[in-house]
Structure formats: C-alpha cells, structure tokens
Amino acid sequence: QEEYVQEGIRWTPIDYFNNKIVCDLIENKVNPPGIMSILDDVCATMHAVGEGADQTLLQKLQMQIGAHEHFNSWNQGFIIHHYAGKVSYDMDGFCERNRDVLFMDLIELMQSSDLPFIKALFPENLQGDKKGRPTTAGSKIKKQANDLVGTLMKCTPHYIRCIKPNETKKSRDWEESRVKHQVEYLGLKENIRVRRAGYAYRRVFQKFLQRYAILTKATWPSWKGEEKQGVLHLLQSVNMDPDQYQLGKSKVFIKAPESLFLLEEMRERKYDGYARAIQKAWRKYAARKKYVQMREEASDLLLNKKERRQNSINRNFVGDYIGMEDHPELRQFVGKREKIDFADTVTKYDRRFKSVKRDLVLTPKCIYLIGREKIKQGPEKGQVKEVLKRRMEVERILAVSLSTMQDDIFILHEQEYDSLLESVFKTEFLSLLSKRYEEKTQRKLPLKFSNTLEVKLKKESWGPWSSGGSRQVQFMQGQGDIAVLKPSNKVLQISIGPGLPKNSRPTRRNLTQSRGYSNRSQSQTYPMRAAPPPPAALWTGCVHTLFTSRSAAKRSNKCPTVCTTAPCPRKSTGQSEKPISQQPESLDFLKVPDQGAAG
C-alpha cells in the first residue's frame, strides 16, 4: 500500500496489522532502544557472577519501553503483543544465556594451533572485533537475520505459508481451531484482502515497454515518445478494460492476473507468427537451393552424353505421378514403411517388341513393375487385378543404357535379365535411382550411352525361348520430336529428330518464374514442360483424364507394334487455355524425398 501511495494511484487503504512496530520494539537501537539493545548493554556491564543482572534488565526495560503499547512487564518477566498473540518471557537466566563465554583470547589460542582442522573450526576474524564489545547471542542472531533479509531483498522471493492441521501426523485429522489460529497469526486474511483490492502485477514503464513492444508497430522495435504514453498505447491497443490497470509515476499496475495472461498470450502469438515467417523464409530458401542443386545433378547425368527435349530441360519433379496413397491395390506390393520416391505408368517392350503398360515404382530399396491380368478361374473370374510383374533390388542393378538422342527409351540391366522401358520422366527416375544406388553400394550408377543397345531376355521354362537370348535396339536420325518404332525380327529400329545439344543445361532462371509466375508464354525464350498436378483425388484437367482412362482400361491394353510417344498432351476444353506461366505455384516436389526440379 505504501507503494501505491508513492506512485500516486487511486487506492482505498485497507487496515491490517503492520508487524514493523513489534520488530522495532525488539531490535531498535535508539529512540527508544529495543529489547535486544538493552539486553546487550546490561550484559556488557554485568560482573562475572551475574547475580541480579536479570532484575536489572527488567528494571531498564520498564524504564525505557514500559509505556510501549505492545509491551507489558510483571515481576518475573515481560509480555510482548505479537500480531499472532501475546507471548510471555521469563527473565530467569536471560542475561547469562545472552553472554558469549567463548572469549577472544580463547579463540586466538585455538587459531594458533598447528593442526589445520582445529584452525578451521574457528574462522572468526578477530582483527576487526578487538576494538568493539564482545559479541552476544542476541547480536549474532540479529546480524544473521539482517544478512538473510539483505539476501532476500536482492532476489524476487516467493513465500510459502505452511499450515499444520494436527499434532497426530495423520491424514484426514483436521483441528479447526488450530488451523484458524495459524491462519490468523500468519496474517493470511489481511494478505488476501490487500491482494484482492490491490494489483497483481506492477512493472516500471521501461521494462513493460521492452517486454510487450512487439504487440504494436508503433512500439516496435522502440517507442519514440514518452514511456508512460507508450505503455498507455500498448494497453489501449489490446483493448484492456481501463478499470483493470492504472499508471503511476514510474510503474504500470495491472489488477487481474487474467489481464496479464492476455498480454502474455498475445506476445506468444506474435513471436510464434514471426518464428513461422522465419521458418517459412528459410525453408523456401533451402528448397530453392535444393531445387537448383537437384536440377543440375539430374542434368549432369546426361550432360554431353544425350540430346535433350525442349520441353524436358526445365520442368518440375513431382515423383509420384500415380498417386500411390489413393491406390491401395498398388501400395500392397510395396513395403509398409517404404517411401515412394517415384511412381509413373511407363511402357514396357517384350521380346517381340510389343508394348504393354506397367506401373514403375521406385523406393529406397527396390524397383517394382506392376501390371494387370484378367482372372481366368474362381469367383473373381473375368476381373482384372494388379499383379507384381517384377521386383528388382536397387543394389542388383548392373547398369542403365540409353541412346544419345532425345528419345525416352532406357534399359535396366539386372543380373537375371533386362527390362526395356519408355518414360517421359526418365531423367527424374534416373536421378533418383542414381542417388539410391549410391546410398546402397557407395558407387556411382553405371550409365551407358550408345545408339546400339542390347537387351538380355528372360529364360523361359520351355519353348523356343528357353535359352533366353538377346535383342538389339538401334537408334537413327529421323524427323520430328516423336519417336517412330519399327521392329524387325530381333532388332528394334527407333528414329527421332534432333533435339537440344548434348551440352544443354537447365537455365538459371528465377525459380518463382519456373514454377508458374513468369509472364512469358510457352513459345518464348525458355520452353518448359508443365509440372503434372498433385496425385490426389482432386485432380482436374488432362492428366486426371489420362489416368482415369488408364484405370478404365486396366492399364493392360497393348499398343500397336509401331507406336509413337510424345510429351503429355493437353486436353482441349473448348475454352481459351491459359498459358503455363499462369498456373499456381506447385510445391508438390517437396512431398517426395530427394526430389526437385528436373533436367
């Protein structure tokens, strides 16, 4: 309450017993001297025998403080009116117990000992005490208490009042009269009354501004005007009820803890928002850096070795083009804890160079080729079900062969037999396979580039192909960007027009432009293939239609012997199509581990 008066805030005083008057009665030094001072004075003048010293002390107490409202004397002692109640003290032996009989000459004697242990028992510094009076028990107690208070004043102490419910030390034993007495002499009622009517929180203006400056733009990072006005601006900006706070001369007082909790919660939200902004900026930077790095790594696999497609050199990686999460019939063939690095429907060519659709799935451990077959027997006869056609462990891959032209053909060489595949996302697949292969074997994935490739066939259990054998794939210069396939006996001839030079690399454009924010149209300086939409149930547009048609056909319809392959076409909707550059930004590549934008 004294602080409220000093700060000049509106306050209705609450009467409570201030124990300071009793403390002064006991330990005051002068005007009038306290009981401890009178006791020390009597002990200093008493003789060695000490007879009559107690009566002398009682007489001096009656003379010096007999009129004090909290002091009464009687013939054998005196009574002090503490706030907890009256306490009587018997004078018999008072002075003798207060004297310190361990005189300085005895301490000096013990300190002169040659034994370190004996010296350590008497650490007193006698140089400063020789000139003054000999210490007494009362003076030592007072000094220790003052030292304790001095230490507490340097801290922010929190006091815990312990109430003893009984003397039996049993649970559920409640002595109401005893508890009431303790509540009374601990001053809890007065404390609660002051707290209820007072202010739960107080802080100087400068520290308050420093802690909550982040709540408004005007106070962050620093308030330009008067500190008191800054505090008022803060409290008004959070719409705190004016009855809940007062501004003093140097401090702000907040009444209810809930109002303080409101400030703390808003502060935490602000910091949380800024932390999220920092995280977002960092993740964006890291993703862009990784994006550029992975584009270059993917491009370096084919750099100076293979011609590139114009609409393939700059495009996004998505990874899962099938949407494995939405196809449990495909997911059943993959391990439960295996992540999907890559998934796409590709074209596989058999020993007669007939094409068939397969789902190519790459995980950190294996490569899966999943097909479809019609059930010929049983209750599910006539239904088409997914079948695992092949499973290859990544470390068992011997090499991957490609041509030097811009086609999408590649051959997976494995110890048992090879697989001849065609995929428009071959660069993405090869970059991911290369990383997984290096993780497993600590070696680079062998890539072979030639316009004459050999395919080792699988050995059959009977018939003319029981010995296995091989087939040859020859690439020759043709016209256009669409590959033309011509099988002839054991040779497959593929012709395709020239592509971009072998030394073509992804352009170091602004990444936001490459993700759909550029104002350039597709036909301008930087051609690019649009990123496929995210593999989910909400697909729209041409790719959705494409996959739907694949599912409807069970991905088992075989293509004609001579077929053409082109980049994913756009389905016409009859409306004026927007340029690719106006597509919303796609961050789906982040959903797949070790994915980025491709070459």
| pLDDT, tens digit (0-9, with 9 covering 90-100), for 438-479 | 999 999 999 999 999 999 998 876 655 556 689 999 999 999
Give dist(CA 24, CA 327) in Å, integer. Answer: 85
Strands 491-496 and 470-477: parallel
pTM: 0.47
Domain 2-153, architecture per CATH: Up-down Bundle (1.20)
Residue 253, beta-bridge partner list:
202, 246
The contacts of residue 32 (CB under 8 Å, 6+ apart) are: 64, 65, 68
Judged by DSSP in three states, 591 sits in: helix
Q: Residue range 289-299: average pLDDT?
A: 78
Give dist(CA 112, CA 108) in Å, integer. Answer: 6
Give dist(CA 284, CA 81) in Å, integer. Answer: 73
Q: Does domain 308-598 have CATH number 3.10.129.10?
A: no
Q: How confident is the model at residue 203 (pLDDT cuts 50, 70, 90)?
A: confident
> Residue 285: its pLDDT value, please?
92
Q: Name the least confident of 75-89, 162-176, 442-456, 568-582.
A: 568-582
What are 384's two structure tokens? 């088409």
List, for residues 206-233, the tens digit of each pLDDT value: 888 888 888 888 888 888 888 888 888 8
H or E element at residue 65: helix 53-65
Give dist(CA 378, CA 282) in Å, integer. Answer: 57
Domain with CATH 1.20.58.530 in the chain: 2-153
H or E element at residue 389: strand 384-393
Strands 491-496 and 483-488: antiparallel
Percentage of residues in the chain having pLDDT higher than 90: 27
Counting Cβ atoms within 10 Å, is residue 41 exposed (0-12), middle (13-18) or buried (19+)?
Answer: middle
Give dist(CA 400, CA 413) in Å, integer. Answer: 6
Domain with CATH 2.30.29.30 in the chain: 308-598
Calculate the CA 363 to chain-centre distance: 29
